[in-house]
Structures are given as structure tokens and as C-alpha cells.
Chain A
Amino acid sequence: MTIAVASGKGGTGKTTVSVAMALSTERNVSLLDCDVEEPNAGLFLKLGQIKSEEVSVVVPSVIEDKCTHCGLCADFCNFNALAVTENKVIVFEDLCHSCGGCFLVCPVDAFQENNSVIGKLEIAETGNLRFARGILDVGKAMSPPLIRAVKKHLSKDRLNIIDCPPGNSCPMTTAVKGSDYVILVTEPTPFGLHDLTLAQEVLKEMDIPVGVVVNRHGNEFRGIEEFCERENIEILMKIKEERKIAEACSRGGNIFDVRPEMKEVFNGVLGKIESYARDSKK
């Protein structure tokens, strides 16, 4: 069972919700931080010993002795990652998507595989919680391969929670893909509503069921409720705007430090989602 926590907009409380969900259950749970550009979930956990490994992608490098500088590879590459001059081939590793096309089109087998490090994967275990995160190297443009590397740590016999990157484009879709359910965290403002609308559109297209958690609830804005009613989306929970929650989280604490009674609410939401997911599979 895999639940992804996404939001469209950043800063709505995805990480706060993901961490609280993971901490609300006694069962075996895996928390995967797929916001590899700014992985923050680990800051709110006491991680202990961390196992770390490099993650790399396969990029081409040219065997100059074999290359005839015919230019077929550069013509084929849709990402402008190759340039061929009269006597040299230049590979722009940062633009390469590792599709393997140049290896296939080269008539003289002049390419060999070269690993290019894009970041690292870290894994830690505390009690019933297994935690994995990806950390993208600063200056690297492409996060989806690293997100896929983190997702290799999904386990079938555990409850998996994925903390997603913000937005609605490739990093977000890579993170939510294959999930049984997506929790969309939003806040009651016009910005929150607008980004929620976009995220819901993406997930509808991907055919993944969604529910909404409203964070910082408590002002006069009713747009989120109206939208959810219109689109027939369940509001799973509302978390009240409280300065002491914001203060606790700013120090690396969690909601339960100041509102211990919320643990049961989160656990209840988790149970509800699991029964929805079971029903939809029947």
C-alpha cells in the first residue's frame, strides 16, 4: 500500500503531514522523501545511523579511435546533449536524459557507458520506521532519475508514504506514479486553491484517487470546501492554524509535540485511506 503526499504548491505542509502520518502508526512503515531538491522530512526524525550510496545515471562517452564523426548521434539526440565537429564529439552530460539513443544509432559502436553521479541515496531505520531520501547534487538539473532510485525502496509488505516534490510537472508525476492514493495538502488561500486545482487535474489524468488535507485552517476563505464539493473530493482532515504548531515545526519538532491528541486523528485518516484503497481494488 503506497500513499503519496503532494500539494501542487510548495510550503503547504506536505512534509509535516507525511512525517505525522508515518509517526501515527505502530505498524511497519517506510517513509520515502522524494523531494530530492529540498529533502526535509529527515530533519524531523531522529535518524541515528545513515547508510549512504551514490546515485548515478549512464551517460555516453566517445571512443575517439572508433568515431568517424559522422554526426548521426547528434542528429538523433533530442536533448542537444551531443555536438560533433570535424574531429571531436562533445557530450553535455547535464543535458543527457540517458535514453540510450546515441548507442543505438552509432554505426561503428563508438560509445561506451560512463557513470555520472547526480546525487546520493540515504537510508536509515528507527524502530518500525524505515526512511529513505534522495539528495540531488547542487547544480544538477534532472531530478526524476534520483526520484526513481528512492522509489526502488518501496516495500510490498509495509505501508509506504511518499513525500512528493511541489509542482505539477515531471518530478511530481514521477513521485506519485504507481501510488494507490494521493493526499493533497493545501491551505485556505486563493494560491492554495489554484495549485490544488492543477494538482487534481494531473492526478485525474493519471487516474489515482485523491483526498484533501487542509492545513492552516481557520480564515474566512471557503474556496477549498466549494472546490472539493464540486469535484466530489473528500476533505480528510483540517489542521487549525496555530502559531505553536508553526513554532514547533520550525525547531524540527512535529504536530504531536504540541497537539498529542492529533495522533489518533492522523491514524484514523490512515485507516480510512487504506479501506478506500482496498475497496477500489475489489
Chain B
Amino acid sequence: MKEIVVISGKGGTGKTSLSASFAALSDNFVIADCDVDAADLHLVLKPDKIDSHRFISGNVAVIDKLRCEKCGKCLELCKFDAIKVDPYSMEYSVDSSSCEGCGVCARFCPFDAIDFPERDCGEWYLSSVKGGKMVHARLNAGAENSGKLVSLVRKVARKEAQKMGSEIVIVDGPPGISCPVIASVTGADAVLAVTEPTISGESDLIRVADLVRHFKIPLFICVNKWDINQEKSMAIESYSAKTGAFFCGKIPYDKKVVEAQIKGLTVVEMRDSYAGEEIKKIWEILCRQIL
């Protein structure tokens, strides 16, 4: 079983459109949506939920107003500006979106007035989709620990693939280069970086490629909307060659991609789509390289 992760550095470059198309071109696969912050894959693949689970992770501080003596110790100790004082009532409270769940305030409150319950961070689901299974999640508004949720989603996906005797796990990754991305790529068999031929696309690609190299994972690169800036596309292609990444194709700018999204279809299911044709070729190249 091989696990391939689709990432991009920059958001909105077409990760999800590509991942969904790869699923449509495969049989007996597992696909995981690891962009738990802004999960969109379900809008295209329309999963049928088999089961759902709560994602409980870490803790959050809660001040009990009845026990609080307003001494200010918590305010003094909190390194995350998460303690709020109401200017009128002088009552203390915790801004849960800033609380990182370290527990310092709860432990050192002289009046034992701070509770530290476990934090409900969202849900994750196992679903069936046409031709395979899907693992996806929903992170609560402003919740923490997206890296942990990503690791969990990937673990469940791999386990499910083993159970099904599946050859391939496709992971739709998050944008950026920090915690959730690191959690998405560590230990994967291959990473496909999707980029756009723009100065920001190129800048983000270089950073994300550095990250993938840091973890010693084989890197594949493709350019989306390559004809927007052909010169930049060439530059990215030669960057791939120079750094030892495998360049596996260029997808043209095609209005059918947005049309597919609006219709709730994958790009490769759209008739006469130039982009769809190129995505098919890229998937064939990838499969030949990694399977």
C-alpha cells in the first residue's frame, strides 16, 4: 500500500480538484481530507457517512466565577493573553480561542478556581464514496490541534486501506508549511506539490519543497494554470529538474474546472475538459512511479 499526499504551499492552487480527480480515476482506494481547517473534498466526492466520532484533544481553562477571588495570578502567569478582565465587573474569564491548554493557570490558581476540562475540538468521519472509502473531519470554529487531527485522519485512512487490501491512499493536504502540513507529510511514500506559475506560487513551492526534502520524501511537482504565465511555468519546470524533484505535468487554465465544482463533479468527469485530460496523464505518471 502506498500513500501519496497532495500539497501546495499556497492555498487555492487546485489540490482538492486534483485529489478528487485521482479518486475518480481509481478503484478500491482510500482518500483522506487532511485540510481539516477548510475541508472541501466532501463537496465533490459526496461521501456517505458510515460512522462519526468526536475529536477530543487537549484541555481548556475555565474560570469558576463563584470561586474566583480576582487575585490576578492567572493573568500574571498566562503567556498567551488568554485571561480577560471585564472592565466594569472586574470579573475574570478565559478567551478559549487564545487558550493553548497548558494548564499553568489551573495549577497555580491560589483559590483552585480554574477548571481544566478536556476540549471538544470537532468530529471525524469514515465514509464510503464511489469506488472506495473516505476519511474526513471537521474542526470546530477556532479550535486548536489541527496537526493532531491530521495525524488521526491519516492513521485511520491507512488502517482502513489495510483492511480493504487497497493499493493506494490519497491524501488531500493543507496549505502552508507548519504544523498540519508537517503532520500530513511525515512518513508518506510520495508528495505531489501543485503550484501555480506566479511569483507567489513559485515562492511558496520553494518553501514547501524545502520542507519535503527536510523529511526525505520523494517529491513530484505539477503546475496548474500553466498558460497564465508560460515563462514562470518554465522556471518551475527547470527548478524541479535542478533540485531532483520529478516534474509530472502542466494543467492548462480551463473554465471547466470551476464549472465542475459548481456542478459537484470531479474535473475528469467533465466532458471535453483540457484540464481533465492533463490530470489523467499526471495520475498515470504518478502511479507508474510509485506503485
Contact = CB atoms under 8 A, between A and B. Distances in A.
B228 A99 contact: no
Interface residues of B, number: 63
B229 A247 contact: yes
A167 B174 contact: yes
A139 B79 contact: no
A141 B179 contact: yes
A15 B201 CA distance: 12
B103 A169 contact: no
Contacts of B258: 189, 219
A250 B103 contact: no
B262 A190 contact: yes
Contact of A10 (B142, B175, B177): B175
A142 interface: yes
B237 interface: no
Contact of B12 (A11, A76, A136, A168): A11
Interface stretch (A23-31, A197-205, A259-267): A197-205
B204 A40 contact: yes
B179 A220 contact: no
Interface in B91-131: 97-98, 100-104, 107-108
B199 A168 contact: no
27 contacts: A9-B12, A10-B38, A11-B10, A12-B11, A38-B200, A40-B199, A43-B203, A44-B199, A99-B103, A104-B104, A104-B107, A104-B108, A136-B178, A138-B207, A139-B182, A141-B147, A166-B11, A167-B38, A173-B97, A177-B97, A190-B262, A194-B40, A201-B141, A202-B142, A246-B228, A251-B199, A251-B229
Interface of A: 8-12, 15, 37-38, 40, 43-44, 76, 78-79, 97-101, 104-105, 136, 138-143, 165-174, 177, 187, 189-191, 194-195, 198, 201-202, 205-206, 219-221, 243, 246-247, 249-252
